[in-house]
Amino acid sequence: MADEQESASAERVEPEPAVVSDGKAAAEAEIEPGKSPDEEPRIESDESAARQGESVEIGCPVGMGLTDLRCGRKLHFAPGGPDERPVCLMHSKDPLKQSGLLYEAFWLEFERILEDAGEKEAHFERFVFPHLNLSKRKFQAICRFADAIFTQEAMFGDAVFAQGASFFNATFMQDAEFWNATFTLDASFRGATFAQDADFADAIFTQDAHFDSAAFTQDAHFWKATFLHLADFSRAIFMRDTNFGDATFTLATDFSYATFTQDANFNQATFTQDAVFRSAAFMQNANFNRATFARSAYFNGATFTLAARFVETRFQGTASWWGSRFLDRAEFRRTIFDPQTAGHESALFALAAFNKPGEIVFDEVDLSRVFFHDCDVSQVWFTSSARWANREDNRGLAVYEETIPLKEYRALELKRDGQRDYDAVAQIYQQLKKNYDSRLDYWTANKFHYGEMEMKRLAVPTSGPLLGLRRCLHRRLSLVALYRYASDYGNSYGKPVLWLLGILALFAALFPFPGVGLKRQGASQAESYASVWNVQKGYAENLWTEARLAGKGAITAVDTATFQKSAEYAPAYPWGRVLAIFETLLTSTLFGLFLLAIRRQFRR
């Protein structure tokens, strides 16, 4: 984005042998009105200089502006040698120009340049400014202050720049006041150095604002500043407190690689378009409380050395902390993750590192569309009011990695062998289960346990013969699938009880079947539904006999389930015995699952 115009302001001075004033010239004579740097430098001959055999350039040699333009103003010889080489009054570092005649001469020339420029370019490149008060001034010209040095306070408060203003590489040695200033066209402070406070409070940047690589040595105030176009603060360095509170960023905002050595305050700032804080370094507190990000916010690779506060911050696009490092605490309290695009994730913490996970707080936050994969959340503090998505079958909680449509861009990372990487998702569930377990919130932990087991069930084979069949079997008949049918992976104690009752009823009905039969102790014949039917008797009487037999079957089923040895009725050999063995196996397994579920629900 380097502006050629600005980079071209590097000196391009062709030494030309010539003769010039001898330095004895009085201040009032130094500036020649009517001579602008655009004109051909006028050659002056000075006999005394010539006599001394000096070979000096024609006028001030400082390069200005776009082309090979040289200043060409009459040289000003400052006593004490503050300048490395003879330059004009405008470019001289002569401390004497801070007041008196030289001061007046300086400003006379400044005004003349502005007036001559009209609505064209006014060149102040590399000027060394004495104390400056241009508050409330309206600049009609394109103002070029590139490489200028403001030795004293620079007061531009309430100033209006009707066209572009370039302070590229300028140095503000004292306070720079631009509060309430209006920049109608592009404003560039690229590479500028603010040695003291920089005050841009309430300033309005109608077009691009470039502060990239600027250095703010003291406080930087951008409170309530308005950026109606691009705001570029990439690689800027803020060495003291930085205040962008209530600022408005209407277009793309770039703070990538910016360094905030002290507190960075973005409270209640509004970002209407994408805000990029990629690889930014927040070396003290970073406050984004109640800020609004209407589009995406990228904090990818950013480092938060102290507290990162996102209290009541509203993210309406995707907020990404991909690979961010939180070295201390972070507060996501009442943070609103509300992406406007359906299906998009609300926040992304993939590969983020939490050095003090116990101090990363998510409180009253909707986490239903937040990505946590490749990031350890086993110790992050999710308060009881952090909300997760419910599973479709309402039997547990789901993370977004499980439900995001695989066609979404972000889901690419979750794809393996053409299907969702269920093992990776299971890992998140494991971490969350561990997290809630360690905080003794077993109910929530169980809900993530369900998700974890579901992922194990869904993680089907991806290669080998009969893939379709094996996948189907794995999902429906594997041990983990049966575990789900039997007790919702140990989350339900009602389910195994129902199964148990069902199994008892089934076997009660099966035992008296012909071919199986119930045998009374000591009896020689087994009884079955067929054998007890007596054609000599009435229908009702027979039914009664059958019902009694069914009752005996029920008692036998219970006896078998409870390992009664000397029961009155026993299943007849051989098929009754086989059924009994099956029943014992099933009922004891279900009873075990019941106990396990009870334990899971009520452990302490």
Q: Looking at beta carbons only, is 41 or 164 nearer to Zn ion?
A: 41
CA 126/CA 65 separation, integer angstroms = 10
User: Residue 504's closest CA among 582, 431, 558?
Assistant: 558
Q: Kindly state the smallest distance separating residue 194's Cβ from Zn ion, in Å.
A: 24
Q: Looking at beta carbons only, is 79 or 405 nearer to Zn ion?
A: 79
- Give residue 72's region: left, alpha or beta (phi > 0; psi -120 to 50): left
Q: Kindly state the smallest distance separating residue 104's Cβ from Zn ion, in Å.
A: 18
Q: Looking at beta carbons only, is 46 or 175 nearer to Zn ion?
A: 46
Q: What is the DSSP string of 206-250?
A: SS-EE-TT-EE-S-EE-TT-EESS-EE-TT-EE-S-EE-TT-EE-
CA 384/CA 186 separation, integer angstroms = 49
Q: Kindly state the smallest distance separating residue 75's Cβ from Zn ion, in Å.
A: 8
Q: Looking at beta carbons only, is 88 or 348 nearer to Zn ion?
A: 88
Q: Looking at beta carbons only, is 46 or 421 nearer to Zn ion?
A: 46
Helix (H) or strand (E) holding 601: helix 575-602
Q: Kindly state the smallest distance separating residue 124's Cβ from Zn ion, in Å.
A: 11
CB 352 within 8 A of CB 330: no
Q: Kindly state the smallest distance separating residue 93's Cβ from Zn ion, in Å.
A: 12
CB 278 within 8 A of CB 300: yes
List strands edge to edge, sheet with 142-144.
121-123, 142-144, 165-166, 187-188, 209-210, 231-232, 253-254, 275-276, 297-298, 319-320, 347-348, 370-371
CA 304/CA 326 separation, integer angstroms = 5
CA 400/CA 451 separation, integer angstroms = 12
Q: Kindly state the smallest distance separating residue 46's Cβ from Zn ion, in Å.
A: 17
Q: Kindly state the smallest distance separating residue 6's Cβ from Zn ion, in Å.
A: 18
Q: Looking at beta carbons only, is 64 or 159 nearer to Zn ion?
A: 64
Kindly provide the b/e burial profile for residues 552-586, where b requires at least 16 CB atoms within 10 angstroms of the residue's own CB. Answer: bbbbbbbbbbeeeeebebbbbeebbeebbeebeeb
Q: Structure tokens of 301?
A: 């690779």
Q: Looking at beta carbons only, is 91 or 456 nearer to Zn ion?
A: 91
CA 331/CA 350 separation, integer angstroms = 18
Q: Kindly state the smallest distance separating residue 61's Cβ from Zn ion, in Å.
A: 8
Q: In Å, what is the CA distance from 593 to each residue of 397, 486, 488, 492, 504?
A: 22, 8, 10, 9, 16
Angle at 576 between CA 571 and CA 580, to 5 degrees: 80
Footprint of Zn ion (CB under 5 A): 60, 62, 71, 73, 88, 91
Q: Kindly state the smallest distance separating residue 120's Cβ from Zn ion, in Å.
A: 19
Q: Kindly state the smallest distance separating residue 313's Cβ from Zn ion, in Å.
A: 50
135 phi/psi in degrees, rounded to 5 = -60, 145
Q: Structure tokens of 379?
A: 């110790």
Q: Kindly state the smallest distance separating residue 12's Cβ from Zn ion, in Å.
A: 14
Q: Looking at beta carbons only, is 70 or 474 nearer to Zn ion?
A: 70
Kindly provide the b/e burial profile for residues 315-334, where b requires at least 16 CB atoms within 10 angstroms of the residue's own CB. Answer: bbbbbbbbbbbbbbbbbbbb
Q: Looking at beta carbons only, is 91 or 295 nearer to Zn ion?
A: 91
Q: Looking at beta carbons only, is 70 or 229 nearer to Zn ion?
A: 70
Q: Looking at beta carbons only, is 21 or 289 nearer to Zn ion?
A: 21
